[in-house]
């Protein structure tokens, strides 16, 4: 422990000294000479390019399709009320036009009959506006609760609603844990039931809301009836991308944590080390696969601190108090 503190102090002093002679830059970036790095045992390694189809473990559950089926009925009822209101408006408009024509043609109807016809039209128009608003409300609620694909099925009676009503398919929601992300583009997931049975799921679309108790993103899927499970049955679901993504492998020894985020130190130039945030949703062996699209700063061939990253992090925290400007521009 004593040696660690001496090394940390040396690194912090070196970082502070360099920071005093450089222009302002991100506080956590460090410039360290070879002697300081050697004292701290800091080692780097080149990032290696790989291509993988990221896989994510998800929690699945068989949903009750009843609310979705009832929602379809509610949409149909709201549409019927709107159609009825439109018919009433058309009739009232016709009567109002006739009364207006007769009233203006030498008062062939009384003013009271004319005004009554106009009032009936206004009432019919208000009823139609209310019916239209109610339909829009129900449809918006459907999209908010079930997403565009299932809401569209409920509104139009298309697949997979008939299959769910007939019991040919079951509805499944698969969600990843908080902080995770869904692979994309998503391949058909593989589910495992409590009895060990495996089944391939058919993806419907992304769930618009996080599942209760999971708080991560999720997708709606279909489970074929031959492998039917009771409503509420938990499933272990494996989500994977449908095609391999380019990226790099980051060893676990390179990762430090700050405010719940994973950071690695990337060597920029001869003596500058900059922190880069990375996702850790795809563990691979003793490290993580990081797709190029998720961390564009990491590229194959760049050198990453794989030993001593914690020392660099501690030194940057010691040398640069919160709110202070620090280290230098890159050497590149």
E strand or H helix at 78: helix 66-104
Length of the chain: 332
Q: Quick check: bond before 209 cis, omega within 30?
A: no
User: What tokens appear for 213 in the block?
Assistant: 């108790």
Per residue of the chain (332 residues), give pLDDT as tens: 444 433 444 444 544 444 443 333 343 688 887 787 778 788 999 998 898 887 889 999 999 999 999 999 999 999 999 999 999 999 999 999 999 999 888 778 888 998 999 999 999 999 999 999 999 999 999 999 999 999 999 999 999 999 999 989 999 999 998 878 888 889 999 999 998 999 999 999 999 998 877 878 999 999 997 766 889 999 999 998 888 889 999 999 999 998 888 999 999 887 889 999 998 877 888 889 998 888 888 999 999 999 999 888 888 776 554 433 344 444 44
Contact 85, 128 (CB under 8 A): yes
Q: How many CB atoms neighbour CB 163 within 10 A?
A: 17
pTM score, two decimals?
Answer: 0.63
Burial class (CB within 10 angstroms; exposed 0-12, middle 13-18, buried 19+) of 168: middle
Contact 292, 246 (CB under 8 A): yes
Angle made by CA atoms 299, 305, 308, in degrees to the nearest 5: 165
Contacts of 329 (CB under 8 A, 6+ apart): 22, 23, 25, 272
What residue ranges define each of the domains in the chain, with the CATH number in brackets? Answer: 2-52+244-319 (2.40.420.20), 57-64+163-240 (2.40.30.170)
Contact 187, 240 (CB under 8 A): yes
């Amino acid at each position: 422990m004593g040696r660690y503190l001496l090394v940390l102090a040396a690194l912090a002093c070196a970082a502070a000294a360099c920071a005093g002679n450089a222009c302002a830059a991100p506080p956590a970036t460090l410039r360290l000479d070879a002697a300081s790095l050697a004292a701290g045992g800091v080692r780097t390694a080149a990032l290696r390019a790989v291509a993988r189809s990221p896989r994510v473990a998800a929690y699945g559950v068989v949903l009750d399709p009843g609310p979705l089926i009832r929602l379809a009925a509610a949409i149909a009822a709201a549409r019927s009320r709107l159609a009825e209101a439109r018919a009433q408006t058309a009739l009232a408009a016709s009567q109002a036009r006739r009364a207006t024509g007769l009233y203006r043609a030498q008062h062939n109807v009384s003013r009271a009959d004319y005004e009554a016809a106009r009032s009936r039209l206004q009432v019919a128009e208000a009823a139609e506006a209310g019916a239209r608003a109610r339909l829009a409300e129900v449809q918006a609620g459907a999209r908010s609760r079930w997403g565009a694909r299932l809401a569209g099925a409920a509104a139009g009676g298309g697949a997979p609603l008939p299959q769910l009503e007939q019991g040919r398919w079951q509805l499944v929601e698969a969600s990843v844990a908080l902080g995770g992300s869904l692979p994309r583009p998503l391949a058909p997931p593989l589910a495992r039931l409590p009895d060990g049975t495996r089944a391939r799921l058919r993806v419907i679309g992304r769930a618009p809301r996080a599942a209760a108790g999971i708080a991560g993103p999720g997708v709606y899927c279909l489970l074929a009836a031959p492998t039917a499970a009771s409503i509420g049955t938990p499933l272990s679901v494996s989500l994977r991308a449908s095609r391999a993504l380019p990226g790099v492998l980051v060893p676990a020894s390179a990762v430090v944590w700050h405010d719940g985020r994973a950071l690695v130190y990337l060597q920029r130039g001869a003596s500058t080390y900059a922190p880069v945030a990375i996702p850790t949703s795809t563990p691979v062996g003793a490290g993580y696969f990081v797709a190029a699209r998720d961390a564009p700063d990491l590229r194959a061939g760049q050198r990453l601190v794989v030993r001593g990253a914690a020392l660099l992090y501690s030194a940057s925290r010691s040398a640069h108090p919160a709110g202070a400007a620090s280290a230098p521009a890159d050497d590149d």
